[in-house]
Every structure is written in structure tokens, then in C-alpha cells.
Amino acid sequence: MPPISTLSTPVRSRAGTPVRGRAESDFSPLLRQVKEAGLLRRRRGYYARVITLNLLALAATWAGVLLSGGGWWVLALALPMAVFSARSAFIGHDAGHQQIARTRRVNRALGLIHGDLFLGMGYGWWNDKHNRHHANPNHVGKDPDVEVGALVWTRAQAVERAGFAGFLTKYQAWLFFPMLLLEGLALKVASVRDLRRQTPRARALEGSLLAVHLAGYAALLLIALPPQVAVVFALLHHALFGLHLGCSFAPNHKGMEMPEEGDGERWGHLRRQVLTSRNVRGTALVDWFLGGLNYQVEHHLFPSAPRPHLRRIQPLVRAHCEALDVPYTETGLLDSYAQALRHMHAVGAPLRER
């Protein structure tokens, strides 16, 4: 993997090289500064508006489907359905990080509603996987997001691939965005499979909500549309939904540092999160489209910080990293995709050279 300095322009310091023994304490002054600025406080009013507006948008889109008369033009509504489904996923994400409500019970309820019930995506499965990712981002063997799957993330993983899996790895950079079209369905399959891992009580609750989602989704489409139109609408909706989510998560870590054994502990919390994460600069529209995840560095350092506060936390983090001479990576949206694709292409090189 190319060094971070070749991936985008990092912020460099005038303060010199930090002392390694102080790695763990490097984060404490920044945490104190963010707390004193009130940027870890809940924003219940903000989230009440976001949740209400998203519910209204989803209801209006479903009303359009039900009143469409069954014509093929209804497929145009698959796009807003995918966009507002992604908003539900972002709300579930924030609930999983305890950003919305004061209590875990309320946050979990919001996550179950927006994940299992609205999307058919298991909140328990996602939360377990995502928390392990946050604890050790980009660390092979610890971060589930860089495990071997349809795609691989290191050359060591790539050389073990053969057959159809090897073909995917050879050309994974070219196939990445087309494969995201299957992500919406893959999330549902993974959620159902994960039920076996859960406790009987959690399995019964999430299993019931997933079943209600599937039955309700199918019933609404079949009531409103002829079967062939309903099937095409469902496939298009899930394809666009998966693409949207993939485009929101892809810029965050791919092509960034991948710690080896011992690096995470040696780096400490600040470096472990900053060196493996990439921000995407842009307008308020970019913030909205990416669900605030474009402030990935700040989100990883302060996962419980409400989404609207990340923009305000950013200058504090940048200045702190500059003072410690810790590279802070930020780039544009299109360049972030290019960097991720270059990394995936480089990983597949050993198979193309055979």
C-alpha cells in the first residue's frame, strides 16, 4: 500500500515528532477540549426533526407507489425510496453509537425500528460488527470490514484466491461499484444468518421484526403493483440502496493505513483512529448525502458525538493533529473513490501477474 502522504495532502506540524511513550495521553487534551465546548451533548431536537422528516418522506414515497396505478413509471420512485431508506440506515447508525437519546434502551429501540423494521437489516448484527470495526479500524484479523469476502483488502489475502473468487479479486477495482448493487440484498441475508448468534430473546425480537418488514414490504408492493412490476421495483430499490450505502462507506478507510500486530497498541487511540481514516471535504449537500460520515476522523475519535457536531469538532481535531505532527487526511469525494479503487487494484496485482 502506498504511504498516506501519497493518498492525499496531510496536515503537517511545526511542532516536531511526538514522543511515543505519550501515545495514550495524546488524546486526553483533545477530549477535554471537545467536552468543554459542549460538543458531546445530545441534540434531541435535531434528531426529532430528522426522524420526522424522513418518516414523512418515506410515507409520501410509499403513497406515490400505492397511487401509481401499477404503471412502469413507478420505477422512478425507487430512487427516492433508496435515498430515504439510506437516511433510515444513518439514523440507525447514530442510534447504535448512542448519539440520539440518553439511554441505551431508547437508542436500541430507535435502531430496531429503523434497521429491522424499516429496512430488514438486523440492528444486532450491524451493531456488533460495527463496534468491532471502531475498536480496531483497518486491522486485519480484528476489523470485520477488512475480512476476506467478495472483496479482499491485502495482497496476502489476494494470493489465496482461486477460481471465480480469484477472478473477482483480479478485477475488484472495476467490479466494485457494480457489486454494490447487490449490497442491499446482502445486508438482509447477513442479518438473517446472524440470528443464530444472538440470545434466544434477541433472536425472537429481531426475527419477528425482520419477518414483519418482509411481509409488509411484499404486501405493499403486491397490493399496489402487478407482480412483474413489483419484482422489478424491489430489485431496483435494493440495488440503488446498496449503491448509496456503499458510496457512503467506501471513502472512509480503504487505501488508508492497515495496522499490523502491535501497531494499534503502540499508536494509541488517537493515531489508531486518525491514521486509518479519511475525511471527505465538501458542502452541506455532501454532508447530507454521506450521512455525516465524511467526517470519518472525528466520528472515529468521538463516536458518540451527534452528527451535526462533527463539522464543529473538525477544526479542533485538525489543529491537535497538526500540533502532534499526526497526518490528518482529507480529500474530495471523487478523489476519495479514486484512492480506494487504486488500493483495491493494487491488492489484486499478484493475480493479474500470474
Write down the pLDDT at residue 261: 76
Say yes or no: 229 and 327 in one domain: no
pLDDT confidence bin for 263, thresholds 50/70/90: low
Tally of domains within the chain:
2
Say yes or no: 198 and 286 in one domain: no
Q: List, for residues 310-328, the tens digit of each pLDDT value.
A: 999 999 999 999 999 999 9
Sequence-distant contacts of 263-270: CB under 8 A, at least 24 apart: 263/139, 264/136, 264/139, 264/142, 266/20, 266/23, 267/23, 268/23, 268/24, 268/26, 268/27, 269/24, 269/27, 269/301, 270/23, 270/26, 270/27, 270/30, 270/301, 270/321, 270/324, 270/326
* Helix (H) / strand (E) containing 260: none
Judge whether 305 lies within some domain.
Answer: yes
Write down the pLDDT at residue 27: 94
Say yes or no: 185 and 120 in one domain: yes
- Domain stops at, among 211, 237, 263: 237
Write down the pLDDT at residue 25: 81
Judge whether 344 lies within some domain.
Answer: yes
pLDDT confidence bin for 7, thresholds 50/70/90: very low
- Domain stops at, among 237, 272, 296: 237
Judge whether 244 lies within some domain.
Answer: no
* Residue 328: other Cβ atoms inside 10 A: 25
Residue 1 has pLDDT above 70, yes or no: no
Instruction: For residue 216, give the nearest of 340, 25, 66 by alpha carbon.
Output: 66
Write down the pLDDT at residue 267: 82
Say yes or no: 233 and 258 in one domain: no
Residue 265 has pLDDT above 80, yes or no: no
Say yes or no: 28 and 54 in one domain: no
- Domain stops at, among 190, 206, 237: 237
Write down the pLDDT at residue 22: 55
Contact assessment for residue 237 and residue 81, using Cβ atoms and an 8 Å cutoff: yes
Say yes or no: 54 and 23 in one domain: no
Say yes or no: 86 and 119 in one domain: yes
Residue 213 has pLDDT above 80, yes or no: yes
Say yes or no: 144 and 200 in one domain: yes
Judge whether 245 lies within some domain.
Answer: no
Burial 75-104 (b: 16+ CB within 10 A, else e): bebbebbbbbbbbbbbbbbbbbbbbbbeee
Cα-flanking dihedrals φ and ψ of residue 37, to 5°? -80, -5
| Rounded CA separation 6/259 (Å) | 17
| Rounded CA separation 84/151 (Å) | 27
Q: List, for residues 267-313, the tens digit of each pLDDT value.
A: 889 999 999 999 999 889 999 999 999 999 999 999 999 999 999 99
Contact assessment for residue 238 and residue 299, using Cβ atoms and an 8 Å cutoff: no
pLDDT confidence bin for 262, thresholds 50/70/90: low
pTM: predicted TM-score of the whole model, two decimal places:
0.90
Q: List, for residues 137-176, the tens digit of each pLDDT value.
A: 999 999 999 999 999 999 999 999 999 999 999 999 999 9
Q: What is the mean pLDDT of residues 30-51?
A: 96
Range of the domain at 68: 44-237
Say yes or no: 318 and 334 in one domain: yes
| Rounded CA separation 67/350 (Å) | 54
Say yes or no: 129 and 278 in one domain: no
| Rounded CA separation 125/191 (Å) | 6
Q: For the chain, what percent of residues have pLDDT higher than 70? A: 92
Write down the pLDDT at residue 282: 83
Say yes or no: 339 and 198 in one domain: no
List of residues 6+ apart from 316 with CB closer than 8 A:
30, 33, 34, 37
Say yes or no: 145 and 263 in one domain: no
Judge whether 243 lies within some domain.
Answer: no
